[in-house]
Structures are given as C-alpha cells and as structure tokens.
Amino acid sequence: MLRLAVLVSGGGTNLQAIMDAIDSGKITGAEIAVVISNNKNAYALTRARERGIGAVCISPKEYESREAFNEAFLAKLDSFQADLIVLAGFLVVLPEQMIKKYPNRIINIHPSLIPSFCGTGFYGLKVHEAALARGVKVTGATVHFVDEGTDTGPIILQKAVEVREGDTPEVLQRRVMEEAEWVILPRAIDLIANGKVSVADGHATVRA
Ligand code: GAR
C-alpha cells in the first residue's frame, strides 16, 4: 500500500476526489495516511476528519520564523512516513529541504495546461483570470512532479478544457475542476501506486 500524505490549504475538493476514488476502487494500492494543512480553517480538514482520516494543521503563524515553521513542518511530515506527497491546493512554498528529501515523490495539481499560466503568483482563481484576460479558447489542468522550481517539474498528466463565451473566472474554475482536476489527480495517484510512472532526464513516462 502506497502511503499518501495529502497537503491542503482550502476547500479540499481535490482531496474529496481522491477519497472518493479510493472508495470506488478507481485508485488501488494507495491509502491516505494523513491530511496536513497550513490553515486551521481549511474545510479540507473537516472532509478528512469526517472520513476518519487523521488531519493536522501546522500554521506558520505559530512559529517565530519561516525557518522554524519549515523545520516543524518537515518533521511532522516525516513522522507519517509517506511514500507519496500530494499537493492538493496547497498554497505554501515548499521548503527546499523537503523537495530534496522527496525527489519524484511529491506531485502537484495545477489548474492550467503548463507551461501556460504557471509559476510564481499563479494559483487558484488568478490562473483563470489570466487565461480569460488572454482570451485563450482551451485551458485545462496538469499533474506534475515537484522539483526546485515553481511548476517546472516533470509533467505526468494533462487534460484540456474548453473555454466558453461569457465564462467568469469562477465558472471556468469550476469547469476545470470537474472536467480535469478531479479526474487526472486521482488517475495520477493510481498510476503511481501501480508502478506505471517513471522519470528519466526530467521527463515522466506513463505506461497505460
Ligand atoms: C485547485 O483548483 C488547484 O488546482 C489549485 O488550488 C485549488 C484548490 O482547490 N492549486 C493551485 O493553484 C496551485 N498552484 P481545492 O482545495 O478545492 O482542491
């Protein structure tokens, strides 16, 4: 069983999609060992607890410095001995030590087709605002491994979503979640759990 640590900051709809996929058998060979949030009010924590999954909060506000927070965060994460760390709407810049410690063992869901609308400052609704401002006709979501850069790691899965006339950022965000994020994040976890994803020369290869 692959042990997952799912890191969240907000509503947790992607966490919900993972839990539902485990329940329905769309994800096999993986279990959620813990859900960790930086925000004690994250509804994602409630979703986890309602399903009987351990949920903890480590907030930067409780630490004197970023270094102290990073150290405590990493120690907490390590204590769960996760095989795979899933960033499911986790809006904290990861400590460098964490990225070094878990090479090709951290994945992230991003709400655009990388390399469009990604990098520093592109998160949540801002991504969809930027896509609409540019007038793109197709957007989507990407699951990728996390490396030292922002949204630069090997791409595992992507799914395109149509932009429609009159879309607001909120409407587009919802469509990207429903049609892409909640589909490809659970699928990527299932593929990894079943040994179907490998990484070489900075590229991920998926065997169907
Ligand atoms: C999702 O849309 C996810 O793609 C995005 O945050 C949202 C979290 O929603 N992540 C990023 O923008 C990362 N750069 P959720 O809490 O309902 O899963």
Q: What is the domain partition of the chain in residue ranges?
A: 1-102, 109-208
Within its chain, how far is the Cα of 187 from the centroid?
13
Q: Is ligand 1 within 6 A of the CB of residue 14?
A: yes
Centre of ligand 1 to C-alpha 65, Å, is 26
Centre of ligand 1 to C-alpha 93, Å, is 14
pLDDT tens-place string over residues 89-120: 999 999 999 999 999 999 999 999 999 999 99
Concatenate the DSSP letters of all residues of 52-73 into one string.
T--EEE--GGGSSSHHHHHHHH
d(CA 50, CA 53): 7
Question: Would you say the CATH fold of 109-208 matches that of 1-102?
Answer: yes
Q: Is ligand 1 within 6 A of the CB of residue 43?
A: no
Provide the pLDDT for residue 89.
Answer: 97
What CATH fold (topology level) applies to the domain 109-208?
Answer: Rossmann fold (3.40.50)
CATH says 1-102 is which class?
alpha beta
pLDDT tens-place string over residues 140-182: 999 999 999 999 999 999 999 999 999 999 999 999 999 999 9
The pTM is what?
A: 0.97
Q: What are phi and psi of 3, to 5 degrees?
A: -90, 120
Tell the residue nearest (CA) to atom 9 of ligand 1. Answer: 89
